[in-house]
Amino acid sequence: MMATNSNVPAVEPGIFGPRRRGDRGSRAPRLVEAQELWDIDDVASYLGVTKQTIYSWRTTGYGPAGFRVGKHLRWRAATVINWTVRLEENR
């Protein structure tokens, strides 16, 4: 039996995420693992905004919750995707 982490929101199977830096030639979407960690480039790409927008959102407390791994900002893919779903539900 696989252990689950109840602190991580469930993500719908088959969610597609941002293309990685090495995927320029590939047009096929990339499946996302819920536990996958994204950097600011991934988050900005997925949300269709600039990195500066993400930084601005962080200073005001808006946007998906990220965290630091040492000096690096990271976001769980599930957190970012679920944040966008909640925005859509609250329209």
pLDDT tens per residue, range 3-55: 444 454 454 545 666 665 555 555 556 777 878 999 999 999 999 999 999 99
How many Å apart are CA 41 and CA 87, to the nearest integer?
A: 21
Phi/psi of residue 42, each to 5°?
Answer: -65, -45
Q: Which amino acid is at 72?
A: H
DSSP state of 76: E
pLDDT tens digits along 61-83: 999 999 999 999 999 999 999 99
Q: Which CATH architecture has domain 37-90?
A: Orthogonal Bundle (1.10)
Which tokens in the block code for residue 88? 């859509």
Q: What are the boundaries of each domain within the chain?
A: 37-90
- Look up the pTM and report it: 0.68
